[in-house]
Amino acid sequence: MPSADPADPAVYERGDALNEILPAQSTGDGGPAPTSSGDAAEDSRMYDLSEQEYWEWLAALIQEGSELDEHVDDLLEAIYDLEPAFYSRGGRRQLQERLRQLHEVRTSVRAFEQDVEQLSFVFAKTDTVETSGADNADHVLASIKRTYDRAYDLCLYKLDRISDGWITATNLLISLTILIVTILFWLEFR
């Protein structure tokens, strides 16, 4: 998994944890076959793993999820640190950039969620490992979703606050203009 750099959108891809556990398939020429995230999701070898390999898959998934959670938490901290004034175009752009990054990370969160669901399904179907073992991955997923939701809501809140500041300033300017026009009109016909 790449580092938890807030600018890196490809934090987790579907099947990352499973690809660490499954042995590489070989092609006809003896080299390993390239695997894609779709291949890992449909790989029937995941049902033939030993109990130890299932626990390694769970551990890898939890590790990958913890790193994804750190990445989302870094984005949340970056959003907390932004306190732009309503008239700051640079601050608004920074918030919009963080929102764009959150939209990109959403793909990773969804991929992790699908992998946790797949792990739970395989645990239940194989009966090799106790089904409740997947609960740990569910806890990591819940933490990721909570952090993502907080970051997303905070970013939208701050963008709305900037918009409200502009609306207030515009209303004040309109009110002052009307007041000046009214005073001038009154002085003209007095």
Using the 8-state DSSP alphabet, how is residue 156 labeled? H
The whole-chain average pLDDT of the chain stands at 79
pLDDT value at position 27?
35
Determine which of 16-25, 61-70, 163-172 has the lowest per-residue pLDDT on average.
16-25
Over residues 39-60, the pLDDT tens digits come to 455 667 777 777 788 888 888 8
The two three-digit tokens of residue 58, written as one number: 């769970």
Listed in sequence order, the residues at least 6 apart from 8 whose beta carbon sits closer than 8 Å to its beta carbon are 2, 71
Over residues 173-183, the pLDDT tens digits come to 999 999 999 99
Are the C-beta atoms of 1 and 64 separated by less than 8 Å?
yes
Are the C-beta atoms of 111 and 37 separated by less than 8 Å?
yes
Over residues 150-162, the pLDDT tens digits come to 999 999 998 888 8
Which residue has tokens 């030993």? Answer: 50
The two three-digit tokens of residue 129, written as one number: 């490992």
Residue 86 has pLDDT above 60, yes or no: yes
Cα–Cα nearest to 41, from 131, 120, 118: 118
pLDDT value at position 129?
65
* Spatial separation of the C-alpha atoms in residues 89 and 85, rounded to whole Å: 9
Over residues 97-142, the pLDDT tens digits come to 999 999 999 999 999 999 988 888 887 777 766 666 677 888 889 9
The two three-digit tokens of residue 91, written as one number: 């601050």
pLDDT higher at 86 or 73 = 73
pLDDT value at position 132?
66
Which residue has tokens 């309503």? Answer: 86
Over residues 63-83, the pLDDT tens digits come to 999 999 999 999 999 989 888
pLDDT value at position 33?
43
Helix (H, G, I), strand (E, B) or coil at 26: strand
CA-based R_g, the chain, Å = 26
pLDDT value at position 49?
77
* Spatial separation of the C-alpha atoms in residues 73 and 4, rounded to whole Å: 9
The two three-digit tokens of residue 44, written as one number: 């029937």
Are the C-beta atoms of 1 and 61 separated by less than 8 Å?
no
Listed in sequence order, the residues at least 6 apart from 110 whose beta carbon sits closer than 8 Å to its beta carbon are none
Longest dimension (CA), the chain: 99
- What predicted TM-score, i.e. pTM, was given to this entire model? 0.70
The two three-digit tokens of residue 178, written as one number: 């009307």
